[in-house]
A and B are shown apart, each in its own frame.
Chain A
């Protein structure tokens, strides 16, 4: 069972308190009624399935009930960081395939973004 750091509660909590909610950083178009079929396809149907870092939404459903985002390495199943909904997608690159193996789990749950310590 994973330990997941909720950026709102500021705590690492067990995975059973959370629900995964699909890919992150897919904004609903402001002009929803007017978008083209292709734009709708991209918004609603198309999803990434990377080997490596994926950005996904989680909800602390049995806690504060807030949605937040996480960067997770799909190779190691390690959550590299979590951050509040609405913050920009962080720049995470794994230079070597082994990097994910060496990320300190003690750090992995914490957000790296400035201003998030509040």
Chain B
């Protein structure tokens, strides 16, 4: 044993003294033992001062020995990238080389400038921020927010990317047991021995729960903790059991889906780089047994937060499990029996117990007798009214409840117990409603909305024998309900200890006076008088009190503070506790890392990219890509010295003068097959399809029932009963869904099959004067001469020997083709076409040039020039609505009065007065520029480009009554001036439309 570990008691605890390791805190290197938490190792080295509090910067120590710890939050630093703030020292397992720093202090933990807040505390009561930093509004951005942000929060978030991997697993079982203390282990054993498949998890490194400190417990003839370890080993060896330690059940969701997070590497000094740091288990359990135990409450009295003041059960855990005495002269303040056992254990270990102050007037029973027999002074009917000491408690001031003279008792640690709060978090998350048990002053589980049951302390059991009985019954019942009844488990357990009784709320005037600080919530620095203030200011509901004071809101989620806060509010409101209500227990039970929740969905797997079969060719050509949905589409192909503008200008000119090719593979494609295929399309699209001849194409518009444009595309009739339908790139899934919906649910009698063929066909658009000459070199079995293959026709044939579906169509206004080939051959066909096209002076063009070319012709893009409130008429596409059809989707919606109203926003072209000015897409349009603000807006710009082919800017816009305003001037107010533009027809190139037939 190292001399430095002055509080380590030889012969106590379960750690191996032969396995020392080094760790550091605030740069100071110390020794601990394998199995220590940072908290136990610090106390072993006589360090209680661990951090500064959030608001008042008060010195704080270690309150608990488990996850409920609100105070001892530290920054753990493994390396540059691996640093984690707000780690509870009571759960951080140390390893050789472990390093942590204290938080929320400057320049040092001992001398912290921020502690001035403590003196100023009368001026910063609860709700201070809400009330103070309201005006002037401008001060928020520059003054209030930066300063509040600097002061807020405790630790520092890591700056570098998270280097660790995180895993995710799904699991199914008959019975999931949450918690591996006496209750959980007994329940798991009973279920497993009956033959059920069992998962059992515990958040701590080792099993046993309260058996770690409850030394008088005996189960099955063994000491409680020995039994727990042996039972865990027995369970782990069974084929039908999975035992997970360091695994927290943090979320209880619908239909018995419980999420666990398993910490795999955090406690290890070294590990393989490919080992996941944490693993999330998504467990679907037929039945769930909640064995979450209970959490001890602190006492609410003035100055109850000095380092060295802690829960009695924590002190007992440090002694009996870690072999560490929390002090040498210890005081106790309790309202129940359980704290007596801490005093007794410490006394037997050679620690002086200055006095036990008992809130009860006449405590009696074996625990009290044992304490007195050991010579410990018991002061009944009294309370601690204050404490002394700056960086560590040095005394307690004791006074009888009835008042009178107070007595100062020197101590170097003060243990407290106000009673035990059943941990109903998981039950509550399962949507169960807790029930107030007035007699014992506790919330307990009520009816179960899911197939679950609580056993042990979380179900209100106050003794070990009761716990074991509940657990065995639950384990056996749930196994039987799952059809397993191999064997019954019998266990006898008992202990001299009881966990009943206690108090809630503030004691002995702790909620009185301006400067009295009796802390309810240590993590948020909420005092008893803050809660009274909240009530005085009109907060009636506990949910309001919580938000006004922030009681129970930090990372500990009020595990120690909720019941006290509630009791104080209830008293102030003069109501019963259940009438004030209990705040909701939300997921997660304890903080979960983002890494664990994200799992594999990061980097390349965060948002998968879709590549066309021709992608490699675009990369080779040096294309810049743009994201369109999940697709990576070639945006433009810059050549040496070209910026985007120059590249696009060259591409659009080349297409019109020579020819260009474009990867259109991302288009949605649906094959519509069956005797009723034409009838079906007739109903889905506004256009008539029944008379479309095989071998012909038709541009189609799809509306919703409300009569607004939903999608558009070109439909090829391959045969009487077979159509090849194209959709927009982004609309492919929703169009398929809408078609399936109507086919399955409205017209199930139609004999039609729909098949998505989007990924089966690569599509190359070959456009421009030389397109036909290039294509003719490579196709066979099809006559593509102008006479044989007119505009808007469809043929099948072969290209380079592979099957081809050839669309004679244009989205540029030039004569062109869209060549569909099986995806696997897309790249080869592209390369062959590209070689021949470029030999003639053509080029590849990207999506930006495609946009400019189609805008020069006034072709719309659904979703850019339409926005879900645009009818075919509005878009100038009224000709595409079949006037003679009896029915189609949208037929009735279009007839609504507002959709037929004159003066609706209509799609028009715009030419700026200054041809060099390119309007901003989305810019608002007004009729006259000299209106008072807010001006009356009559529309907006939908598409706007520099058109190299026109030698000027062009734009499209939706303008109210636009069709009647041809030639009129409108105005576009922008931050740096008003832009004038003229309304024109939205066709800027080849208004007669002759070029497509070339």
Instruction: Report which A residues bind B (CB closer than 8 A).
Output: 1-3, 21, 27-28, 32-33, 35, 37, 40, 43-44, 57, 59, 61, 65-67, 76-78, 85-86, 98, 101, 105
Asked if B449 CB lies within 8 Å of chain A CBs, one says yes
User: What is the distance, in angstroms, from B775's C-beta to the closest C-beta of chain A?
Assistant: 37
Which residues in B have their C-beta under 8 angstroms from that of A40?
Answer: 892-893, 896
Query: Is the pair B706, A44 in contact by a Cβ cutoff of 8 Å?
Result: yes
Which residues in B have their C-beta under 8 angstroms from that of A28?
Answer: 705, 746
Beyond A40-B892, A59-B740, list 18 extra A-B contacts (CB 8 Å): A1-B282, A2-B254, A2-B255, A3-B255, A33-B892, A37-B896, A37-B897, A40-B896, A44-B705, A44-B706, A61-B737, A67-B745, A76-B431, A77-B254, A78-B254, A85-B744, A98-B447, A105-B256
Asked if B886 CB lies within 8 Å of chain A CBs, one says yes
Query: Is the pair A32, B253 in contact by a Cβ cutoff of 8 Å?
Result: no
Asked if B748 CB lies within 8 Å of chain A CBs, one says yes
Query: Is the pair A67, B740 in contact by a Cβ cutoff of 8 Å?
Result: yes
From A69, which residue of chain B is reached at the shortest CB distance? B745
Given contacts A76-B431, A76-B449, contact A59 B254 (CB under 8 A): no
From B733, which residue of chain A is reached at the shortest CB distance? A61
From B253, which residue of chain A is reached at the shortest CB distance? A1
Interchain CA distance A80-B38 in the complex, whole Å: 50
Interchain CA distance A3-B450 in the complex, whole Å: 13
How many residues on the B side are at the interface (Cβ–Cβ under 8 A)?
29
Q: In residues 411-458 of chain B, which contact A (Cβ within 8 Å)? A: 431, 447, 449-451
Query: Is the pair A35, B447 in contact by a Cβ cutoff of 8 Å?
Result: no
Pick the 9 closest A-B CB pairs, nearest first. Answer: A28-B746, A67-B744, A33-B891, A85-B745, A101-B449, A32-B892, A3-B255, A32-B887, A67-B745
Which residues in A have their C-beta under 8 angstroms from that of B627?
Answer: none
From B451, which residue of chain A is reached at the shortest CB distance? A105
| Cross-chain contact of A33 among B284, B746, B887 (Cβ < 8 A) | B887
User: What is the distance, in angstroms, from A45's C-beta to the closest C-beta of chain B?
Assistant: 9
Asked if B741 CB lies within 8 Å of chain A CBs, one says yes
Asked if B257 CB lies within 8 Å of chain A CBs, one says yes
User: What is the distance, in angstroms, from A14's C-beta to the closest C-beta of chain B?
Assistant: 8
Which residues in A have their C-beta under 8 angstroms from that of B447?
Answer: 98, 101
Interchain CA distance A35-B118 in the complex, whole Å: 73
Which residues in A have their C-beta under 8 angstroms from that of B748?
Answer: 85-86
User: What is the distance, in angstroms, from B988's C-beta to the closest C-beta of chain A?
Assistant: 37
Interchain CA distance A27-B742 in the complex, whole Å: 11
Which residues in A have their C-beta under 8 angstroms from that of B896?
Answer: 37, 40
Q: In residues 871-902 of chain B, which contact A (Cβ within 8 Å)? A: 886-887, 891-893, 895-897
Query: Is the pair A1, B257 in contact by a Cβ cutoff of 8 Å?
Result: yes
Interchain CA distance A44-B450 in the complex, whole Å: 37
Interchain CA distance A42-B282 in the complex, whole Å: 42
Which residues in A have their C-beta under 8 angstroms from that of B893?
Answer: 40, 44
A-B contact pairs, 16 of them (CB 8 A): A1-B253, A1-B282, A3-B284, A21-B741, A28-B746, A32-B887, A37-B896, A40-B893, A44-B706, A57-B745, A59-B741, A76-B431, A76-B449, A85-B744, A105-B256, A105-B451
Contact with A along B444-475 (1 / 0, CB 8 A): 00010111000000000000000000000000
Which residues in A have their C-beta under 8 angstroms from that of B254?
Answer: 1-2, 77-78
User: What is the distance, in angstroms, from A88's C-beta to the closest C-beta of chain B?
Assistant: 14
User: What is the distance, in angstroms, from A47's C-beta to the closest C-beta of chain B?
Assistant: 14
State the total of A-B contacts with C-beta under 8 angstroms.
Answer: 58
Which residues in B have their C-beta under 8 angstroms from that of A61?
Answer: 737
Query: Is the pair A33, B451 in contact by a Cβ cutoff of 8 Å?
Result: no
Instruction: Report which B residues bind A (CB closer than 8 A).
Output: 253-257, 282, 284, 431, 447, 449-451, 705-706, 737, 740-741, 744-746, 748, 886-887, 891-893, 895-897
Which residues in B have their C-beta under 8 angstroms from that of A78?
Answer: 254
Given contacts A85-B745, A101-B447, contact A33 B886 (CB under 8 A): yes
From A85, which residue of chain B is reached at the shortest CB distance? B745
From A12, which residue of chain B is reached at the shortest CB distance? B255
Query: Is the pair B450, A66 in contact by a Cβ cutoff of 8 Å?
Result: no
From A35, which residue of chain B is reached at the shortest CB distance? B892
Query: Is the pair A32, B891 in contact by a Cβ cutoff of 8 Å?
Result: yes
User: What is the distance, in angstroms, from A57's C-beta to the closest C-beta of chain B?
Assistant: 8
Interchain CA distance A85-B748 in the complex, whole Å: 10
Which residues in A have their C-beta under 8 angstroms from that of B284?
Answer: 3
User: What is the distance, in angstroms, from B504's C-beta to the closest C-beta of chain A?
Assistant: 29
Which residues in B have their C-beta under 8 angstroms from that of A21?
Answer: 741
Interchain CA distance A27-B740 in the complex, whole Å: 16
Query: Is the pair B253, A59 in contact by a Cβ cutoff of 8 Å?
Result: no
User: What is the distance, in angstroms, from A18's C-beta to the closest C-beta of chain B?
Assistant: 13
Interchain CA distance A98-B448 in the complex, whole Å: 11
From A37, which residue of chain B is reached at the shortest CB distance? B896
Query: Is the pair B886, A66 in contact by a Cβ cutoff of 8 Å?
Result: no
User: What is the distance, in angstroms, from A111's C-beta to the closest C-beta of chain B?
Assistant: 17
From B886, which residue of chain A is reached at the shortest CB distance? A33
Which residues in A have their C-beta under 8 angstroms from that of B891?
Answer: 32-33
From B259, which residue of chain A is reached at the shortest CB distance? A1
Interchain CA distance A101-B430 in the complex, whole Å: 12
User: What is the distance, in angstroms, from B863's C-beta to the closest C-beta of chain A?
Assistant: 21
Which residues in A have their C-beta under 8 angstroms from that of B705?
Answer: 28, 43-44
Interchain CA distance A86-B887 in the complex, whole Å: 21
From B890, which residue of chain A is reached at the shortest CB distance? A32
User: What is the distance, in angstroms, from B730's C-beta to the closest C-beta of chain A?
Assistant: 17
Interchain CA distance A61-B454 in the complex, whole Å: 37
Given contacts A32-B887, A44-B705, contact A67 B892 (CB under 8 A): no
From A109, which residue of chain B is reached at the shortest CB distance? B255
Which residues in B have their C-beta under 8 angstroms from that of A57?
Answer: 745
Query: Is the pair B451, A67 in contact by a Cβ cutoff of 8 Å?
Result: no
Which residues in B have their C-beta under 8 angstroms from that of A66?
Answer: 744
Which residues in B have their C-beta under 8 angstroms from that of A33?
Answer: 886-887, 891-892, 895
From B683, which residue of chain A is reached at the shortest CB distance? A32
Query: Is the pair A105, B892 in contact by a Cβ cutoff of 8 Å?
Result: no
From A105, which residue of chain B is reached at the shortest CB distance? B255
Indicate the member of B282, B284, B449, B892 with the most A CB atoms within 10 Å: B892
From B433, which residue of chain A is reached at the shortest CB distance? A101
Interchain CA distance A32-B282 in the complex, whole Å: 47
Which residues in A have their C-beta under 8 angstroms from that of B740?
Answer: 59, 65, 67
Indicate the member of B255, B450, B744 with the most A CB atoms within 10 Å: B255
Which residues in B have their C-beta under 8 angstroms from that of A3?
Answer: 255, 284
Query: Is the pair B737, A59 in contact by a Cβ cutoff of 8 Å?
Result: yes
From B706, which residue of chain A is reached at the shortest CB distance? A44
User: What is the distance, in angstroms, from B587's C-beta to the closest C-beta of chain A?
Assistant: 13
User: What is the distance, in angstroms, from A106's C-beta to the closest C-beta of chain B?
Assistant: 8
User: What is the distance, in angstroms, from A52's C-beta to the closest C-beta of chain B?
Assistant: 16
Which residues in A have their C-beta under 8 angstroms from that of B256?
Answer: 105
Which residues in B have their C-beta under 8 angstroms from that of A35?
Answer: 892
From A28, which residue of chain B is reached at the shortest CB distance? B746
Query: Is the pair A105, B450 in contact by a Cβ cutoff of 8 Å?
Result: yes
User: What is the distance, in angstroms, from B285's C-beta to the closest C-beta of chain A?
Assistant: 11
Which residues in B have their C-beta under 8 angstroms from that of A2?
Answer: 254-255
User: What is the distance, in angstroms, from B477's C-beta to the closest C-beta of chain A?
Assistant: 15
Interchain CA distance A67-B745 in the complex, whole Å: 7
Interchain CA distance A99-B533 in the complex, whole Å: 42
From A4, which residue of chain B is reached at the shortest CB distance? B255
Indicate the member of A66, A76, A86, A105 with the most B CB atoms within 10 Å: A105
Interchain CA distance A53-B253 in the complex, whole Å: 21
User: What is the distance, in angstroms, from A8's C-beta to the closest C-beta of chain B?
Assistant: 10
Interchain CA distance A86-B253 in the complex, whole Å: 32
User: What is the distance, in angstroms, from A48's C-beta to the closest C-beta of chain B?
Assistant: 18
Interchain CA distance A78-B451 in the complex, whole Å: 13
Indicate the member of B256, B282, B449, B741 with the most A CB atoms within 10 Å: B449
Interchain CA distance A43-B746 in the complex, whole Å: 13
Interchain CA distance A57-B284 in the complex, whole Å: 25
Interchain CA distance A43-B723 in the complex, whole Å: 31
From A15, which residue of chain B is reached at the shortest CB distance? B254
Which residues in B have their C-beta under 8 angstroms from that of A37?
Answer: 896-897
Which residues in A have their C-beta under 8 angstroms from that of B741?
Answer: 21, 59, 67
Interchain CA distance A28-B956 in the complex, whole Å: 36
Interchain CA distance A79-B16 in the complex, whole Å: 54
Query: Is the pair B745, A86 in contact by a Cβ cutoff of 8 Å?
Result: yes
Which residues in B have their C-beta under 8 angstroms from that of A32?
Answer: 887, 891-892
